[in-house]
């Protein structure tokens, strides 16, 4: 009889598959929390250039592995599902203007990803553009 796969090994394998598919090894944070009787997974990206983090996507699964499998499915198809946005912004008190790119359903969703887990008054947004479909 085949032994079942170790839970932690399976979690690490799927997380690694997500990182590799996105080409973002060591730039992702897998933030798990309980959502009623389910597991909520927020996938957060960290930009190494300006050391800011943004929400990439959120899924809810029956357990950690189910949530990870849903996230893996999403990262394999998100470019076909969502529009591309460019946001120019700066941290309040900083002079440097930054440009970040988001995939989102609409501009409000893109802004939610930019402002995820931070005070709305901490970032000034200068422009948000829906990028042409290519």
Tokens at 87, concatenated = 């946001």
Fold for 82-134, please state it: Ubiquitin-like (UB roll) (3.10.20)
Number of H helices, E strands in the chain: 3, 6
**Which one is the CATH code of 1-80: 1.10.760, 2.60.120, 3.30.160, 2.60.40?**
3.30.160
Please, are residues 41 and 73 in contact by the beta-carbon 8 Å criterion? no
- pTM confidence score: 0.89
Give which of 64, 47, 43 is closest to 55, Cα–Cα.
43
Task: Cite the residue boundaries of each domain of the chain with CATH code 3.10.20.
Answer: 82-134
Query: Where do we find the tokens 């997380």?
Result: 15
pLDDT score at 2: 43
Cα dihedral sign for 13, 17, 20, 22? negative
Encode the chain (134 residues) as per-residue pLDDT tens digits: 345 679 899 999 999 999 999 999 889 999 999 988 999 999 999 988 888 999 999 999 999 999 999 999 999 999 999 999 999 999 999 999 999 999 999 999 999 999 999 999 999 999 999 999 86
Helix (H) or strand (E) holding 127: strand 123-130
pLDDT score at 121: 95
Tokens at 74, concatenated = 């999403």
Query: Which residues touch 46 (CB under 8 Å, ≥6 apart)?
Result: 27, 28, 29, 52, 53
Task: Cite the residue boundaries of each domain of the chain with CATH code 3.30.160.
Answer: 1-80
pLDDT score at 1: 38
Query: Which residues touch 33 (CB under 8 Å, ≥6 apart)?
Result: 39, 40, 42
pLDDT score at 127: 97
């Amino acid at each position: 009889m085949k032994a079942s796969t170790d839970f932690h090994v399976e979690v690490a394998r799927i997380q690694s598959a997500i990182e590799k598919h996105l080409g973002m090894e060591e730039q992702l944070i897998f933030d798990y929390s309980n959502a009623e009787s389910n597991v909520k997974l927020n996938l957060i990206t960290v930009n190494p250039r300006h050391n800011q983090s943004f929400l990439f996507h959120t899924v809810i699964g029956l357990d950690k592995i189910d949530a990870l499998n849903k996230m893996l499915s999403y990262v394999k198809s998100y470019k076909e599902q969502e529009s591309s946005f460019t946001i120019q912004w700066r941290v309040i008190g900083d002079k440097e203007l930054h440009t970040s790119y988001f995939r989102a359903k609409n501009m409000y969703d893109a802004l939610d990803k930019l402002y995820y887990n931070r005070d709305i008054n901490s970032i000034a947004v200068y422009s948000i553009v829906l990028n042409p479909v290519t």
